[in-house]
Amino acid sequence: MAKTISKKKSNTIKLNFDTSWSYAPAPESKSAATINKQYDLFINGEWVKPSGGKPARLNDDSRSGGYFDTINPANEEKLSEVAEANVADVDKAVKAARTAYEKVWKKMPAKERAKYVFRISRMIQEKARELAIIESLDGGKPIRESRDFDVPTAANHFFYYAGWADKLEYAFPNRKTESLGVAGQIIPWNFPLLMAAWKIAPAIATGNTVVLKPAETTPLTALKLAEIIQESDLPPGVVNIVTGAGATGAAIVNHPDINKIAFTGSTDVGKIIQRAIAGTNKKATLELGGKAANIIFEDAPIDQAVEGVINGIYFNQGHVCCAGSRLYVQESIAKQVIKKLRDRIESLIVGDPLDKNTDIGAINSRQQLETIHKYLDIGKKEGAEMYQSSCSLPGRGFWCRPTLFTNVAQSNRIAQEEIFGPVLAILTFRTDDEVIEKANNSPYGLSAGVWTDKGSKIFNMTRRMRAGVVWANTFNKFDPSSPFGGYKESGFGREGGLHGLLPYLNLVN
Amino acid sequence: MEKTIKKSSLTISENGLEKKTSSKRLEVLKTYKIYIGGQFPRTESGRYYQPTNASGKKLANVCLSSRKDFRDAVVAARGAASGWSGRAAFNRGQILYRMAEMLEGRKAQFIEELIQQDSTKAKAEKEVNLAIDRLIYYAGWCDKYQQIYSAVNPVATSHFNFSVPEPTGVVSIIAPQADSLLGLVSVIAPVIAGGNTCIVLASETKPLCSVTFAEVLNSSDLPGGVVNILTGKPSELTSWFVDHMDVNATIYCESNSDVQKMMREKSALNLKRIFFYDKVKWNTDEGQSPYFIMDTQEIKTTWHPIENIAGSGAGY
């Protein structure tokens, strides 16, 4: 019966998600972006060929000659090739950063330093469209997200920290501040340009110089940022960008002349870094994994909560360390919420990242897709019920349908471990004490969410949840002025806001 | 008779040794036990050691705490954590002030113990006074540091957004070895002022004050388990202090670089926050500041939407 009605295409019937809705393609043009065939290393304000020969990663023939490919995960086509920095290249970059620190940057009046950072922010805004296109090409995220979130937020981050440069004496009562020196920064592939901004902006605004390594699969926007930095006339060596894989990162972490390591990535690698810098005076900021609890109470505005949950887990294909990957629904409304979530994921558009209608783009890499599939199998084997959108997937590239699991137990691996994909684990609860116990039962503590219309309950919950960022009646919101970072094994240190200054400063009497 | 008691228990000469009196009364020696969960057990290991002063005199039979004692103490500290952090900051301030009151009242005993452990009368008096003042200092901070280090963040979207410090949880502390009382107080006070609970390993060579300080804590409204004090050897216990998966932060006050390296490596297990206070001069003003409180705080940022109906501006 329902089927026959829906076939009439009447405007008067209610939305019926059994029918196939389709949008006409609305692709962003690639013509606004320029990607070079090959990128070298950005050291001391110049493009430098990798010292080459043996690549930093051993036993990998595809990397001969010191360059490796970066591909578009939506169609597996090669976009460009980038240099692989080995130990000698990293050393060159650190030397450049040290010289720039001692000879130029440390001595420069803070208000002048500020103006360079402001200038970089403006230039990112000027090139916003190009950066957004490249971000979506290289990383697979929907152009709507890179255009409306990643790029503007990156520009804003530089703008925010630029203003701090000459105001540090107001930030820490009764203390003077000193910059640290050379910061080694290693960033992940989920927000390539934004993470570069989160790292570089506070570091150079506070008077440090930088050696930054973008992720192996998403180096292009960081290299575009290097072009912007070159254009901005920032003194050579203040920011150096070296591309490569894990071995390049290790060379940065282990370099003896680095004063500070800032890392965003997996908890496993974060722990390796913490061990590696034991016995040195290197300061560290680690922004690591998460398994955020998103809690819906029966008195919540259900439709808003469902939208928030969808945004919480499917934003950026779930490649978000603070993703709301564990949903706790109060038992009385569980059936209703799960029904709405299933309907909603059915309406998500999965496909071409450059299409402006796309909600879910490509999984960042084959390796990550395999990890996600591994967890889908684990979830099914553990007895959880899997539900996926029935959407069709493109033939080439790396794709995963938006997925949710019901009937999940607290002890299941899909409820305990970070999947980093569009996979939601749904659990239920009866009382607030119970849900706090469950939500906090995780080695992670990066973010959390709560949905209820009762103000006093919001504060009760947000206070008791052990997480660095808590969203109440919203989720996945970010701002340069808002500190971000975790409790427990989600790492330490904060990025953003006034609290994001301290990781790059020493306080002195 | 009364006169004799006074003489034997309180008269102290300049070199710190008790004056020989003609009294026949046998002195009652103190048993130095450890302090876990508000109780004074002996170490479960049944072991003891005998710290001596510079002239070789044995000071007491002191508990040589074991890994199991530490684990029991962590359980006690974790159990006390939500209650202590949930208390009103004002109330925590009152309790720290009460601790200072109780310490003031037992000043003489601490001076005596410090002198037994090679201090001079003048130095001992100064140390006890400083320790009392330090507690008062942090008592005052309990409900103020949050205001200094919080922020309402002016985000660009229509949200109310604020960041506040919260206690990190359970903190394990290897207390300064040189300052028997002052060092102990200086590391405990900022940690508990910030709403954390802790397990402290007292100075190995000068442990007497730590046990007496536990008695002060026990009679000062501080809930059991908030501060747990062990005596023993850092060489045995330090690695367990930084190994435990239910400890959130570790503080170490010595400059032994091998130990520091080992500690930072082990802290990676569960990404404990780790702090080395090896350059702090505890007997100066440098030994106290709200930044010590902030070391064992986490910053929590909370977001909530602000209703924005049809783009209306502020109504006032």
Digit-coded pLDDT (tens) for B128-184? 999 999 999 999 999 999 999 999 999 999 999 999 999 999 999 999 999 889 999
Q: Which residue has the higher pLDDT, A52 or B65?
A: B65
| Min Cα separation B107/chain A (Å) | 32
Chain A CB contacts of B269 under 8 Å are 271
Mean pLDDT, all residues of chain A: 94
What is the model's pLDDT at position B2?
Answer: 39
Mark whether A430 and A402 lie in a shared domain.
yes
Which residues are within 8 A (CB) of A6 and not within 5 positions of it... i.e. 6 or more apart?
Answer: A13, A16, A18, A19
Determine the Cα–Cα distance for residues A236 and A240; give it in Å rounded to an integer: 8
Nearest CB to B153; choose among A156, A270, A481: A481
Confidence grade of residue A9 (pLDDT, cut at 50, 70, 90): low
Determine the Cα–Cα distance for residues A310 and B202; give it in Å rounded to an integer.
Answer: 52
B155 closest CB neighbour out of A279, A473, A482: A482
Residues A141 and A154 in one domain: yes
A474 to chain B, closest Cα gap in Å: 7
Per the CB < 8 Å rule, is B303 touching A509?
A: no
DSSP symbols for chain B? -HHHHHHHHH-B-TTSSBPP----PPPPPPPB--BBTTB-PPPTT--EE--B-TT--B---EE---HHHHHHHHHHHHHHHHHHHHS-HHHHHHHHHHHHHHHHHTHHHHHHHHHHTT--HHHHHHHHHHHHHHHHHHHHHTTTHHHHH-EE---SSSEEEEEEEEE-SEEEEE--SS-TTHHHHHHHHHHHHTT-EEEEEPPSSS-HHHHHHHHHHHTTTPPTTSEEEE-S-HHHHHHHHHH-TT--EEEE----HHHHHHHHHHHTTTT-EEEE--S--TTSGGG--HHHHHHTEEEEEEEEE---GGG-----
Structural domains of chain B ordered from first start: 31-305 (3.40.605.10)
- For residue A471, the chain B residue with the least C-alpha distance is B303
Specify whether A402 is located in the same domain as A426: yes
B267 close to A (CB below 8 A):
yes
- Report the pLDDT value the prediction gives residue B1, as an integer from 0 to 100: 37
Domain shared by A267 and A356, yes or no: no
One domain, residues A125 and A46? yes
Which member of B151, B273, B304 has the closest CB to residue A473?
B304
Measured in angstroms, the CA of B277 and the nearest CA of chain A are apart by 13
For an interface test with B, which of A175, A261, A274 has the most B Cβ atoms less than 10 Å from its Cβ?
A: A274
Using the 8-state DSSP alphabet, how is residue A149 labeled? I
Place of tokens 């202090």: B241
* Cβ-defined contact of A470 to B154 (cutoff 8 Å): no
Q: Would you tell me which residues 424-453 of chain A have a C-beta closer than 8 angstroms to some C-beta of chain B?
A: 443
Residue A53 has pLDDT above 90, yes or no: no
Nearest alpha-carbon partner for A285 in A371, A171, A206, A199: A199
Question: Does A301 fall in a domain?
Answer: yes
- B-chain CB neighbours of A156 within 8 Å are 156
* pLDDT digits 0-9 by tens, A98-138: 999 999 999 999 999 999 999 999 999 999 999 999 999 99
Which chain A positions have a beta carbon within 8 Å of B153's beta carbon? 479, 481-483, 497
- Interchain CB contact of A163 with B (< 8 Å): no
Task: Specify the higher pLDDT residue, B20 or A49.
Answer: A49
Alpha carbon distances (Å) from B299 to A185, A189, B304:
22, 26, 17
Query: Quick one: pLDDT at residue B307?
Result: 82
The answer to whether the beta carbons of residues A282 and A260 sit under 8 Å apart is yes
| pLDDT recorded at residue B100 | 98
ipTM of the complex: 0.93
B298 touches chain A (CB under 8 A): yes
pLDDT-derived band at A61 (thresholds 50, 70, 90) equals very low
CA distance A484 to A506: 20
Give yes or no for B239 touching A (CB within 8 A): no
B279 touches chain A (CB under 8 A): no
Is residue A11 one of the residues assigned to a domain?
no
Contacts of B37 (CB under 8 A, 6+ apart): B72, B73, B75, B76, B79, B80, B224, B225, B228
Q: Are strands A491-492 and A283-287 parallel, antiparallel or unpaired?
A: antiparallel
Three-state SS for A266? coil
Q: Which residues of A are catalytic?
A: 287, 321
Q: Considering only CB atoms, which chain B residues are within 8 Å of A308?
A: none
Asked if A482 reaches chain B (Cβ–Cβ under 8 Å), the answer is: yes
Q: What is the pLDDT of residue A54?
A: 52
**pLDDT confidence band for A16 (50 / 70 / 90):** low
Q: Tell me, what's the pLDDT at A7? A: 53
Backbone angles phi, psi at B146, to 5 degrees: -60, -35
Residue A402 lies in a domain: yes
- Which residues in chain A have their CB less than 8 angstroms from residue B271's CB? 267, 270-271, 274, 286, 288, 488-489, 491-492
Chain B nearest CA to A152, separation (Å): 12
- Which pLDDT belongs to residue B3? 40
Place A11 in a pLDDT band, splitting at 50, 70 and 90: low
Total residues belonging to chain A: 509
| Interface probe, candidates B87, B152, B266, B271, chain A, greatest A C-beta count within 10 A | B271
% of residues, chain B, pLDDT over 70: 90
CATH of the domain at A104: 3.40.605.10
* φ/ψ (deg, to 5) at A62: -70, -5
What is the per-residue pLDDT for A336?
Answer: 97
- Cα dist from A113 to A46, A116, A117, A182, A233, whole Å: 20, 6, 7, 16, 12
Q: What is the DSSP string of A333-387?
A: HHHHHHHHHHHHHHT--BS-TTBTT-SB---S-HHHHHHHHHHHHHHHHTTPEEE
The verdict on residue A326 lying in a domain is: yes
Q: What rounded mean pLDDT belongs to chain B?
A: 92
Residues of B in contact with A473 (CB under 8 A): 304-305
User: Has residue A10 got a pLDDT over 60?
Assistant: no
According to DSSP, the β-strands at B227-230 and B197-201 are parallel
CB B281 within 8 A of CB B178: no
The CATH number of the domain holding residue A382 is 3.40.309.10
CB atoms within 10 A of CB B139: 21
Residue range B189-201: mean pLDDT, rounded: 98
- Give the Cα separation of B189 and B227 in Å (integer): 10
Same-domain pairing of A297 and A256 = no
Q: State residue A248's pLDDT score.
A: 96
* Contact assignment for B301 to A469 by CB distance below 8 Å: yes
* A276 shares its domain with A322: no
Name the nearest CA neighbour of B186 among B263, B110, B228, B132: B132
- Is A14 domain-assigned? no
Which parts of A23-83 fold into alpha helices (H)?
Answer: none
Instruction: Give the residue carrying structure tokens 């020493």.
Output: A506
Give the confidence band of A20 by pLDDT, cuts at 50, 70, 90: low
CB contact under 8 A, A278 and B153: no
pLDDT score for A13: 60
| Opening angle at CA B50, ends B49 and B56, nearest 5 | 150
Across the interface, which of A156, A477, A498 has its CB nearest the CB of B303? A477
The answer to whether the Cβ–Cβ distance between B299 and A483 falls below 8 Å is yes
Is residue A181 situated within a structural domain?
yes
How far apart are the CA of B261 and the nearest CA of chain A, in angstroms?
Answer: 4
Chain A contact set for B304 (CB, 8 A): 458, 472-474
Q: Name the band, by pLDDT with cuts 50, 70 and 90, for residue B8.
A: very low
Q: Burial of B218 by CB count in 10 Å (0-12 exposed, 13-18 middle, 19+ buried)? A: middle
* Number of inter-chain CB pairs under 8 A, A vs B: 111
B151 touching A, CB under 8 A? Answer: yes
A253 and A302 inside one domain? no
Least confidently predicted of A26-30, A132-136, A318-322, B104-108: A26-30
Nearest-CA neighbor of A255 among A25, A97, A365, A426? A97
Q: Does B160 touch chain A (CB under 8 A)?
A: no
For residue B309, the model assigns a pLDDT of 60
| Of residues B159, B265, B291, nearest to A278 (C-beta) | B265
Rounded to a whole number, what is the distance in Å from the CA of A272 to chain B's nearest CA? 8
Residue A117 domain-assigned (yes or no): yes
pLDDT of residue A8: 53
Identity of the residue in B159, B264, B291 whose CB atom sits nearest the CB atom of A279: B264
Same domain, A99 and A224: yes
| CB-nearest partner of B301 from A267, A468, A509 | A468
Overall average pLDDT of the B238-259 stretch: 97
Chain A residues closer than 8 Å to B159 by CB: 474, 477, 479
Interface contact A474-B161, CB threshold 8 A: no
Contact A383, A376 (CB under 8 A): no
A197 and A75 share a domain?
yes
| Residue B223: pLDDT over 70 | yes
Nearest CB to A477; choose among B159, B261, B289: B159
pLDDT band (50, 70, 90) for residue A49: very high
Please report residues of B whose CB lies closer than 8 A to that of A507: 291
- The answer to whether A409 faces chain B, any CB pair under 8 Å, is no
**pLDDT at residue number B6:** 42
Q: Are residues A332 and A232 in the same domain?
A: no
* pLDDT on residue A172: 97
Residue span of the structural domain in which A474 resides: 293-480
Does A156 contact B260 at a Cβ distance shorter than 8 Å?
Answer: no
Number of structural domains in chain A = 2
Q: Taking 90 as the threshold, does the pLDDT of residue B16 lie above it?
A: no
Contact status of A281 with chain B (Cβ, < 8 Å): no
Give the orientation angle of helix B182-193 with respect to helix B208-218, to 10 degrees: 40
Identify which of A450, A370, A392 has the alpha carbon closest to the alpha carbon of residue A73: A370
pLDDT digits (tens, 9 = 90+) for A326-376: 999 999 999 999 999 999 999 999 999 999 999 999 999 999 999 999 999
Residue B143 to residue A442: CA distance in whole angstroms: 30
Alpha-carbon span B206 to B210, nearest angstrom = 8
Do A250 and A306 share a structural domain? no
**Which pLDDT does position B179 carry in this prediction?**
87
For B270, nearest residue in chain A (alpha carbons): A489
User: Higher model confidence: residue A16 or residue A453?
Assistant: A453
Please check the confidence at residue A58 and state whether its pLDDT lies above 60: no
Q: So what's the pLDDT on residue A19?
A: 66
Chain B contact present for A270, CB below 8 A:
yes
Q: Quick check: B155 and A488 CB within 8 A? A: no
What is the per-residue pLDDT for B29?
Answer: 86
pLDDT, tens digit, 9 for 90 and up, residues B275-309? 999 999 999 999 999 999 999 999 999 999 998 66
Cross-chain CB nearest to A481 (options B155, B168, B257): B155
- At B275, phi and psi to the nearest 5? -130, 135
Amino acid identity at B299: I
pLDDT at A490 over 60: yes
The verdict on a CB contact (< 8 Å) between A274 and B271 is yes
Contact in structure between B300 and A467 (CB atoms under 8 Å) = yes
Question: Which chain B residue shows the shortest CA-CA distance from A272?
Answer: B268
Report in angstroms the alpha-carbon separations of A222 from A195, A211, A286, B204, B241: 9, 12, 20, 53, 41
Instruction: Write the pLDDT tens digit of every residue in A385-419.
Output: 999 999 999 999 999 999 999 999 999 999 999 99
Residues B135, B137, B140, B146, CA torsion sign: negative
